[in-house]
Structure 1
Amino acid sequence: MHNNTKSLRHWRRHVLALLLPLSVITPQSYADFGNYQSHSLTDTQLTIITDEGQLKIAPQGDHALEVHYAPTGVAQLPSFALPEQRATASALSLKNFNDRLELTSQSLKAIIQKHNLTIAYEFKNKPLVAEEAGLFVQDSLRGFRFALTHGEKIIGGGQRVMGMDRRGQRMPLYNKAHYGYKTQSNQMYYSLPAVLSTNKYLLVFDNSASGNLDIGATESDVLQFEAVGGRTSYLIVAGESYPSLIENYTLATGRQPLPPRWAFGNFASRFGYRTEQEVRDTLAAYREHDFPVDALVLDLYWFGKDIKGHMGNLEWDRKAFPNPTAMMADLKKAGVKTVLITEPFILTSSSRWQEAVENDVLAQNAAGKPKTFNFYFGNTGLIDVFHRPAQHWFWSVYQNLMLQGVDGWWGDLGEPEVHPDDTLHRLPERVAAGSEVHNVYGHQWAKLVYDQQRKHFPDTRPLVMMRAGFAGSQRFGFIPWTGDVARSWAGLKPQVELSLQMSLLGLAYTHSDLGGFAGGETFDQELYVRWLQYGVFQPVYRPHAQDNIAPEPVFHDQTTRDLVRPFVKLRYQLFPYNYTLAYENSTRGMPLMRPLFFEDESAPALIDNSTSYLWGDAFLVTPVTEAGIKSVSVQLPKGVWFDYFSGQRYRGGQIIEQPTELATLPVLVRAGSFIPMVAATQSTRDYDSSQLTLHYYHDKTVERAHGKMYEDDGRNPNALRDGQFELLSFNAKQLRNRLDISLSHAGGYSGQPPQRNIKLVVHNQSRKPRRVALEGESVPFAYDGDAQRLIVPFNWQHQNLTVSIH
């Protein structure tokens, strides 16, 4: 005990010495990593000893390398970006020359200069990127410098509103709330020390400390990462295409587990429901006005009647919610899940303050006492989510609430919103200052909730909605949102940029508070409708706002309800398509929202387009972000595209003006797309794909097309691992006088439909067919000449079959 106490005191002195202000480093202050002395190689790691310290390079999959510089005497932290179970890779090979070492994985080569050690990288024998001065370490700063090439565009840095190409920007790496943001923000809730280049490499600086990311701002040809402490390590990833680059990155940092089926439904949410009766009345309104709903989110009033003074109670206010267990059971009977907000702050005025102190739950000050400070909600301490006793205590709260009936978690204020730099956290390795682990606090909090739920409730899929995290947080079922956006057109404008920037770095479920959260004095029907229309084609459908204006459509007038209802139901109809996007994300890392530059990698200018995006491969969506407009400009990728609502055909490779009205959203469908759909239900609990409508968007310019549909029971967390799923495949082949559409099936799961009644809908069928055959036998069909649409109903028992349209 005496030695442990002495060690804690040592680390407290060390971390307090780190609390110096950030400054811009001048080139003269750089130190190199010394000169090569020796090396050793195994199948999985190269270790180099220099006169300045030790360098380790290890593959993370076949297309990524972890590069960890460990200067002598410089304190390190563990990796947070990489999972404990590392991606497997082919064996390394090494060539030793007089002036350099050349380390080769399957596709990446690291060329390590022995004198004034720096590293350059090649991908498949072509130059990729190089350290400009490599590692630098000062008394108060440490980091890396990389060379930028002429014309290179850079995405990265996480949530910012500054345009898609971040080159020329210097941005703080410090997760920080930006209440009521609009069309500009250099610092927000979820910063990421990571960049993606048009040269098709991805760099992640695996350092959780406060810092800056300078992407050619101070020096136009230098990318510089700098931080006040933390781990001197980075991950370099390469790929032949942008999708393969993201696939390789998520293989290294971890893939998003499949969310529960209900996560794709409609959420009832506001700030906030104050009583059990208000909860019941809200769900009654959803049923009365014929709106599907899958989840109800309770904000901070579940544990206190006022905004201030109660945070940290983490227990039901029994005056407002007299029987929460029965309430949540009734919600479940109606197909509605309960999601609770929790925060990591324990106020000194809360009912659990003394319990938290006695159980050693709180982060400490330099004297080893609970660190307290003031913020908006009161005088508080902060749960030390890095400290094992605190983790055990915090999880016991979650476990008890889950036993009562809670289904999902909303972690708020997890930047943390207020986090003094001299707060001390106890990691297993050592004590760390708040400034060293600030950016990974939400990541660690999510890991705690996710890991413990998987352990104690192994038959459930965690839903962990968090406002802040780190690189790799996606592996904890992490669902971020874009924070307290202004309830205005200016707040709606940057939402595509924010979601794309996050999705391209693994955080594919980033979404916005539909309708906007902050402010707004009067109800703007057009803004509200446009935002909720956009929500159909974003990862999570969750209207949420301050309740001076109702965020739920059921509390607005009939005209508003009638405008919004078809879109909420469309969300449910599209579930088979959307769930297949989730499958692609969990197996390959592909984002659900995809940028247009995926379509033409030879046109880097497309990186700047954040007004339109792809929802999967089939849909091209352009949210309406201005009032009163009758059309939007859309930059069409190559191919043929159809207006989803009117059927209008457009030739790709041009900019069009796509008409719109308040009852429609500018959505296009790619020719050659298969879109499986079902009837809308009151909740996804009632989802049934035994009656399946399969849309195919036919065009004679598309000779062959392929689509798929993923399905499992929506609950089993091990469905992918254990093969408890089915994958339906659809193929189209255009022949001279015939269109063949074939269906096939693989796999299966308990409870799957034994057969399906298919309604095949072929769009852009300009003439009535003279014959439609199923496996060579003529079958009845319907043809709508005005809509140019062919409908072929048939029963499918999962055998391979072909529909031939003559």
Structure 2
Amino acid sequence: MHFTPLSDAAVDVEFRALHAKRFDSYAIDPNVGTSAYSLEDSDNTLLFQGQSLQVRVTKAPFNVAFYGNQNLLLSHESGFFQYEGLRGIRFGLGEDEKLIAGGQRVLGMDRRGYRLPLYNKTHWGYTTESNQMYFGLPALLSSKGYGLIFDNAAKGAMDLGASESDVLQFEAIAGRNAYIVVAGLSDNKVDYSKLIQNFTAITGRQPMPPAWAFGNFASRFGYRSEQQVRDVVKKYQTLDIPLDSVVLDLYWFGPEMQGYMGNLDWDRANWPTAETMIQDFKEKGIQTVVITEPFILKSSSNWQSAVDYKALATDMSGKHPRVFDMFFGTAGLVDVFSEQGQNWFWQKYQNIFSDGVAGIWGDLGEPEVHPENTLHATGTANEVHNAYGHQWAKTLWDNHLKDYPEERLFLLMRSGFVGSQRYGMIPWTGDVSRSWGGLKPQVELTLQMGMLGLAYTHSDLGGFGGGDDSFDKEMYIRWLQYGVFQPIYRPHAFDSIPSEPIFHDKQTQDILRQWIKLRYQLFPYNYTLAYKNSTSGLPLMRPVLFAEPDNPDLFDEKNSYLWGDAFFVHPVTDPDVNRVNTRLPLGIWFDYWSKRVFKGQQALDVKVSLETLPLFVKAGSFIPYSQITEPLSLHRGDALDIHYFHHPEVAKAKGQLYEDDGKTRNSLANGQYQLTQFESEYDAGKLSISLIPEGNGFATLPETRTISFTIHNLDIAQVSNIKLVQEQKETQINAEAMGNNAITFSFSWQNQTSKLEIISSHKELQQ
């Protein structure tokens, strides 16, 4: 056994016989080093001690146990096993232990009691149950405060107490016989934020996506011509619905669904001036994303080139491309594990990027068809299957970094492995049913993936397939409303029913226009969540468990969630409802619509209309809004609208606003940003709010801008004085009353430390 400390809270454990083949780790970020642990050797015990994790090896009878701050987290049941054609590891499970595990599955939040295949696979038209999908992860987080990764990409299974109620077993047919343990405790209690930070510190953090990725996508299966896409963009603009990107499905390289996959170049009959179209869109602030697949059809223009370059996975002789039939035609598969395959594939992507394309969609990367008797440079199909999408993403990331070092990569993919987020992968939840049943599990899917590092997981808004007999207008509206509070806003579906709101009736357009504009108004808040994810690994969508980690009942909550720290969201996933039963987490909460104040930790029966869903903001939250809804690639932050949700029981509060140019790859690493810290303090009728900018700034940061400040839960009749202090200069501020018991005022800001003092004429501000 080989123990390698990866950090003070994580250890890699590998079982490898002497002179046995070494397998590389896909899960561990190559930039992670090792950490110093002390070693104590006694008669029957070896003790490796890090700051947050201790490993205790008992010599006889042999056993390995892991402790966090002296609390037992996990121990071997019988440990590693290896037989002909099967290898794995067995651990003990605690009696009341709950498990977030497996990535994309629809089984409920606690996955204990299930046996889950470890083999990425399509699940067409899924609804409310699935134990095997596009992006399975051989990893888990436990309610005891540890994370566990089975660092093996081969075909296998994870048995979470299904076969034996007190045994956790990982198994695979081949590959790396290794696992990683991560601790996440604070003051001897489970700290899910810390656990995720420690988990992503070793598997890698998501780079900052380009700013435009947080806007509205026009996407369907699929646009068939240049003129059609131009007309779609024009219609969005005519109807005053913001738009940041267009996504081109497989018709960009061929006129039919079958026979053209692998061309990876424009079908000039239908896209005669594609490069001009892309440039025209860019001038409007709209980016272009195109689909690519790793399958090269024999009928494609690239078949012979791929064969001659030896870019394809082979049959078992290692000499000839493995050819097979699939829905799209007779094909071979690019070997992304070989140098020839990587180089050949990147040459095609270089041509695509040179046309001005801003983002890549990598589809079918499970791979969707992967015959067992296929040989890759590093193993057979079953030995590398679960790492295929991961390696594909790495190929794109590494080469894009080399050729476009200043630009951020947008990479949409539906399959990968633990740690794929470090290559900028943005996953979606696959070919979901276009139905209420398809909508229901989307919160669960994104929460599960986000907790295990893949924080940009999102759904095809409106549902992808099925439902062609009749359009369910209510379901469509509800799904796109929920999408405002998921990481990526991308309606997408078969074109039998348009996925874009611009092609629906006026009521649908009017409702969704306001929701999409809200998405744009929240860009400063959402972009700050992206910064937090890139620096800490914390997901954008978070289980309500984050608000009450000591409440085990909340572990199972899959219908509501937190959007960052400030928002509590409960999507409407049933038809014909005018009330939704929900439970507010710990804290004090404002109804977003009425601004009524509610104590947390209580059940609420929330009234909703077709225009609303249950949405609450936590007292003490700073919400930075944008006052404009233009394409986000044009966003400059000239005017900011800061909302503070005041309550006298919140004596101190903090918030942040992260800003950069939205496009430079290394803005964080190079300090090319501004991070404004918001701090509030309330005491005996005086509310103080400070704005403290940090960072080196960036080229497009406005030198002067107008801040419009709104304080909720504060009656203007109670305010006797508002003072602004900047660079030791005091200025009196005049405020105006807003509806729902709030005040608003504005001032000029030159990005300097500033302090606001709001004095009440009463002992207490509004209760």
What range is the shorter-chain TM-score in?
over 0.9
Q: Secondary structure at the match of 1:554?
A: helix
- Residues of 2 paired with 1:706 and 1:792: CA distance? 20
- Residues of 2 paired with 1:538 and 1:318: CA distance? 36
Q: Secondary structure at the match of 1:720?
A: coil
In structure 1, the residue matched to 2:547 is 599
- Residues of 1 paired with 2:424 and 2:62: CA distance? 39
Q: Does 1:383 align with 2:334?
A: yes
Asked if the contact 2:118–2:156 (Cα under 8 Å) also holds between the matched residues in 1, the reply is: yes
Greater Cα shift, 140-149 or 348-357: 348-357
Matches within 5 A, 1:717-732: 717-732=665-680
Q: Secondary structure at the match of 2:385?
A: helix
Matches within 5 A, 1:452-491: 452-491=399-438
What letter is aligned with 1:58? Answer: T
Q: Does 1:354 align with 2:299?
A: no
- Residues of 2 paired with 1:682 and 1:227: CA distance? 50
Q: Secondary structure at the match of 1:165?
A: coil
Asked if the contact 2:636–2:700 (Cα under 8 Å) also holds between the matched residues in 1, the reply is: no
Q: Does 1:501 align with 2:448?
A: yes
Q: Secondary structure at the match of 1:721?
A: coil
Matches within 5 A, 1:630-779: 630-747=578-695, 748-766=697-715, 768=717, 769-775=719-725, 776-779=730-733
Q: Does 1:245 align with 2:195?
A: yes
Q: Does 1:165 align with 2:118?
A: no
In structure 1, the residue matched to 2:91 is 146
What letter is aligned with 1:399? Answer: Q
1:309 to 253, 259, 263: 259
1:348-367 Cα shifts (integer Å, max 9, x gaps): 12121111111001101112
- Residues of 2 paired with 1:220 and 1:98: CA distance? 33
1:403-423 Cα shifts (integer Å, max 9, x gaps): 111110100000000111121
Residue 712 of structure 1 and its aligned partner are, at CA, apart by 0.4
1:333-392 Cα shifts (integer Å, max 9, x gaps): 111111010001011121211111110011011122110111111111111000001100
What letter is aligned with 2:683? Answer: L
What letter is aligned with 2:144? Answer: N
Q: Does 1:344 align with 2:289?
A: no
Residue 680 of structure 1 and its aligned partner are, at CA, apart by 3.0
Q: Secondary structure at the match of 1:546?
A: coil
In structure 2, the residue matched to 1:178 is 123
In structure 1, the residue matched to 2:465 is 518
In structure 2, the residue matched to 1:39 is none
Residue 507 of structure 1 and its aligned partner are, at CA, apart by 0.1
Q: Does 1:83 align with 2:29?
A: yes
- Residues of 2 paired with 1:465 and 1:530: CA distance? 24
Matches within 5 A, 1:250-399: 250-368=200-318, 369-399=320-350
What letter is aligned with 1:578? Answer: N
In structure 2, the residue matched to 1:230 is 175
2:138 to 193, 200, 205: 193
1:692-743 Cα shifts (integer Å, max 9, x gaps): 1100001111111111100000011101111111011111111102111121
Residue 107 of structure 1 and its aligned partner are, at CA, apart by 2.0
- Residues of 2 paired with 1:570 and 1:260: CA distance? 19
Asked if the contact 1:75–1:230 (Cα under 8 Å) also holds between the matched residues in 2, the reply is: no
Residue 638 of structure 1 and its aligned partner are, at CA, apart by 1.6
What letter is aligned with 1:803? Answer: L
2:529 to 581, 588, 606: 581
In structure 2, the residue matched to 1:4 is none
Greater Cα shift, 243-252 or 688-697: 688-697
- Residues of 2 paired with 1:745 and 1:78: CA distance? 43
1:619 to 553, 567, 571: 567
What letter is aligned with 1:225? Answer: F
Residue 140 of structure 1 and its aligned partner are, at CA, apart by 1.2
Aligned Cα root-mean-square deviation (Å):
1.1
1:272-292 Cα shifts (integer Å, max 9, x gaps): 000010110110111110111
- Residues of 2 paired with 1:83 and 1:617: CA distance? 27
Q: Secondary structure at the match of 1:60?
A: strand
1:107 to 32, 39, 52: 52
1:142-185 Cα shifts (integer Å, max 9, x gaps): 00001000100001101000000000000101000000000000
Asked if the contact 1:76–1:232 (Cα under 8 Å) also holds between the matched residues in 2, the reply is: no
In structure 2, the residue matched to 1:57 is 3
- Residues of 2 paired with 1:682 and 1:298: CA distance? 22
In structure 2, the residue matched to 1:408 is 359
- Residues of 2 paired with 1:268 and 1:361: CA distance? 33
- Residues of 2 paired with 1:638 and 1:380: CA distance? 55
- Residues of 1 paired with 2:359 and 2:231: CA distance? 21
Residue 605 of structure 1 and its aligned partner are, at CA, apart by 1.4
Residue 118 of structure 1 and its aligned partner are, at CA, apart by 2.9
In structure 1, the residue matched to 2:100 is 155
What letter is aligned with 1:490? Answer: G
- Residues of 2 paired with 1:223 and 1:664: CA distance? 43
- Residues of 2 paired with 1:387 and 1:737: CA distance? 68
What letter is aligned with 2:2? Answer: K
Residue 455 of structure 1 and its aligned partner are, at CA, apart by 0.6
Q: Secondary structure at the match of 2:606?
A: strand
1:438-487 Cα shifts (integer Å, max 9, x gaps): 00000000000111111101111001111100000000001000000000
1:780 to 734, 753, 757: 734
Asked if the contact 2:561–2:570 (Cα under 8 Å) also holds between the matched residues in 1, the reply is: yes
Residue 74 of structure 1 and its aligned partner are, at CA, apart by 5.2
Q: Secondary structure at the match of 1:71?
A: coil
Q: Does 1:801 align with 2:754?
A: yes
Identity of aligned residues (%): 51
Q: Secondary structure at the match of 1:771?
A: strand
1:69-93 Cα shifts (integer Å, max 9, x gaps): 103475442100012221453x221
- Residues of 1 paired with 2:179 and 2:124: CA distance? 31
Matches within 5 A, 1:439-458: 439-458=386-405
Asked if the contact 2:547–2:585 (Cα under 8 Å) also holds between the matched residues in 1, the reply is: yes
TM-score by length of 1: 0.91
What letter is aligned with 1:118? Answer: N
2:476 to 516, 522, 528: 528
- Residues of 2 paired with 1:745 and 1:599: CA distance? 27
- Residues of 1 paired with 2:23 and 2:544: CA distance? 38
Asked if the contact 1:678–1:688 (Cα under 8 Å) also holds between the matched residues in 2, the reply is: no
- Residues of 1 paired with 2:496 and 2:139: CA distance? 38
Residue 778 of structure 1 and its aligned partner are, at CA, apart by 2.5
Residue 576 of structure 1 and its aligned partner are, at CA, apart by 0.5
Asked if the contact 2:55–2:65 (Cα under 8 Å) also holds between the matched residues in 1, the reply is: yes
- Residues of 1 paired with 2:307 and 2:701: CA distance? 50
What letter is aligned with 1:685? Answer: S
TM-score by length of 2: 0.96
Structure 1 residue ranges without an equivalent (≥5):
1-54
Residue 634 of structure 1 and its aligned partner are, at CA, apart by 1.6
Residue 556 of structure 1 and its aligned partner are, at CA, apart by 1.1
In structure 1, the residue matched to 2:15 is 69
In structure 2, the residue matched to 1:6 is none
Q: Secondary structure at the match of 1:193?
A: strand
Change (3 A) 1:608 1:303: same
Q: Secondary structure at the match of 1:400?
A: helix
In structure 2, the residue matched to 1:119 is 64
